[in-house]
């Protein structure tokens, strides 16, 4: 072989190597990035009065629908068994683009793997992540997650306030299985978060109670205030970014609200002061925390001012933890409650104390003044009539829409 021919072959191999590497980068354009949750929910134990049916999913197939915020092309799912005393044995999990109701696009279905296997066992008190899988996930789309259980605990790990219908059938299912006769239940079982591997995503994790969890929202419409905030950030305000010539970014909004949750004591779910580390700080890729809790503490206390002072101390601890984790942190004022069963002069004094501290403190990156936004102009101690439920404590769907729009406007500019 002549020296010139050898040089030509070496050059050819080099060019082929460069071309192959370029194609690899093209196919893996998200390879330089990080994991960030695009959807999440707070795990809890069932409360029998709110989950009256048989909740053991042994030999059941459960199809659950979630609405993501940010999109991506590489995903992984987190399953949780943290509040159960027995293992969860799963035959398989598959995801697909959700259509109407229980229906999916079967051609999009993809089985997830766990350490290379479809089958997985989640030990009591543990959570597990699926392997990373390529799956094109668009911003704000609905995704169906179907779990084929082999054996499940009698007391499962759940989220009770899904405001989204899950579909449960006996036996094993595949992407072509008919779920039209499925038992329908507005709960989520074992699904804790869905993450994308991407870059330039700002991720908000919201600690909240039933107002964040969405009591009063419309079932299957995904119109809680964090949903509305996500919509405004990713669709409405994104257009403003484009017009202003800024590089488009995505926004993930994670709803970690639990109905009847409290910061200081036990209502439903672990108290906020205990679950803050797991539900907020440990979320994948979180950049910003929002604290919007306290009304259940005040509504269930004998001494509003003492409880208010204790709440403020816990807020300070949470803020400090965010600072240590290098997160931006925002805190929201407690909304009006006149006309509800929580309202007394004592409880109102505590609410005013907390809101005054929130408005005057200098420890956060900003505040969401939901109290001012939602109050009745003719009676500031009450929610606006057109934005509230008859319990005078929770906003309705229109109220949540206003809260989400307002929050997006505030946080977009930060």
Could you tell me what percent of the chain has a pLDDT over 90? Answer: 86
The predicted model gives 47-67 an average pLDDT of: 95
Residue 25 or residue 350, greater confidence: 350
Average of per-residue pLDDT values in the chain: 92
pLDDT at 156: 97
At residue 8, does pLDDT exceed 50?
A: no
DSSP class of residue 65?
E
What single string gives the DSSP state of each residue in 32-63? SSEEEEEEE---B---TTT--S----TTEEEE
Query: What is the model's pLDDT at position 25?
Result: 35
Give the pLDDT score at 349. 98
Q: Quick one: three-class SS letters along 267-311?
A: CCCCCHHHHHHHHHHCCCCCCEEEEECCHHHHHCCCCHHHHHHHH
Measured CA to CA in angstroms, residue 319 lies from 140, 273, 276 at distances of 29, 11, 11
Closest by alpha carbon to 140, among 215, 262, 48, 39?
Answer: 39
- Averaged pLDDT, 222-249: 78
Q: Which of the pair, 17 or 323, is modelled with greater confidence? A: 323
What confidence category does residue 27 fall into, taking pLDDT thresholds of 50, 70 and 90? very low
Sign of the CA dihedral running 228, 233, 237, 242: negative
Question: Tens of pLDDT along 197-228?
Answer: 998 899 999 999 999 999 999 999 999 999 99
Structure tokens at 60: 């059941």
Is residue 159 within 8 Å of 210, Cβ to Cβ? no
Band of residue 190 on the pLDDT scale cut at 50, 70, 90: very high
Q: CA gyration radius for the chain? A: 24
- Band the pLDDT of 11: cuts 50, 70, 90: very low
Q: What percent of the chain has pLDDT over 70?
A: 89
pLDDT at 139 exceeding the cut of 60: yes
15: pLDDT strictly greater than 70: no
Q: Give the pLDDT confidence score for residue 18 in this predicted structure.
A: 33
Residue 119 pLDDT class (50, 70, 90 cuts): very high
* Residue entry with tokens 């009847």: 260
The answer to whether the beta carbons of residues 147 and 96 sit under 8 Å apart is no
Contacts of 68 (CB under 8 A, 6+ apart): 38, 39, 137, 139, 140, 141, 142, 143, 194, 196
Look-up of token digits 């997985």: 120
Using the predicted structure, report yes or no on whether residue 191 has a pLDDT greater than 90. Answer: yes
User: Residue 217 and residue 221: Cα distance in Å, rounded?
Assistant: 8
Residue given tokens 């499925």 in the structure block: 182
- Residue-wise pLDDT tens digits, 295-328: 999 999 999 999 999 999 999 999 999 999 999 9
Q: Residue 249: its pLDDT value, please? A: 85
- Rounded CA gap, 344 and 194, in Å? 41
d(CA 133, CA 128): 15
**pTM for the full model?**
0.90
């Amino acid at each position: 072989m002549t020296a010139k021919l050898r040089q030509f072959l070496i050059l050819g191999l080099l060019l082929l190597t460069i071309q192959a590497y370029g194609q690899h980068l093209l196919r893996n354009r998200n390879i330089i990035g990080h994991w960030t949750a695009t959807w999440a929910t707070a795990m809890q134990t069932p409360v029998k009065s709110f989950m009256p049916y048989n909740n053991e999913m042994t030999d059941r197939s459960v199809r659950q629908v979630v609405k993501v915020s940010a999109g991506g092309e590489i995903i992984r799912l987190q399953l949780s068994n943290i509040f159960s005393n027995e293992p969860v044995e799963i035959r398989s999990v598959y995801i697909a683009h959700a259509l109407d109701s229980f229906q999916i696009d079967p051609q999009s279905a993809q089985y997830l793997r766990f350490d290379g296997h479809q089958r997985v066992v989640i030990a009591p008190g543990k959570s597990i992540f699926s392997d990373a899988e390529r799956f094109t996930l668009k911003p704000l789309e609905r995704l169906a997650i179907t779990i084929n259980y082999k054996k499940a605990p009698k007391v499962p790990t759940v989220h009770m306030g899904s405001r989204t219908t899950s579909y449960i059938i006996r036996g094993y299912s595949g992407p072509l299985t008919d779920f039209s006769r499925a038992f329908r239940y507005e709960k989520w079982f074992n699904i804790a978060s869905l993450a994308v591997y991407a870059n330039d995503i700002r991720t908000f994790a919201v600690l909240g109670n039933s107002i964040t969890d969405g009591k009063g929202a419309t079932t299957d419409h995904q119109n809680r205030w964090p949903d509305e905030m996500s919509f405004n950030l990713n669709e409405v305000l994104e257009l403003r970014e484009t017009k202003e010539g800024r590089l488009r970014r995505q926004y993930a909004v994670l709803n970690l609200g639990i109905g009847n949750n409290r910061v200081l004591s036990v209502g439903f779910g672990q108290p906020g002061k205990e679950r803050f580390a797991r539900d907020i700080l440990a979320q994948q890729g979180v950049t910003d925390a929002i604290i919007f809790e306290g009304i259940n503490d005040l509504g269930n206390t004998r001494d509003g001012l003492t409880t208010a002072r204790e709440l403020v101390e816990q807020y300070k601890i949470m803020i400090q933890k965010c600072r240590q984790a290098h997160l931006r942190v925002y805190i929201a004022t407690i909304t009006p409650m006149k006309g509800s069963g929580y309202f007394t002069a004592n409880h109102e004094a505590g609410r005013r104390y907390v809101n005054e501290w929130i408005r005057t403190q200098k420890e956060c990156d900003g505040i969401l003044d939901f109290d001012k936004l939602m109050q009745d102009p003719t009676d500031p101690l009450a929610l606006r009539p057109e934005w509230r439920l008859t319990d005078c404590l929770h906003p309705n769907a229109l109220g949540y829409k206003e809260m989400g729009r307002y929050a997006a406007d505030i946080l977009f500019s930060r």
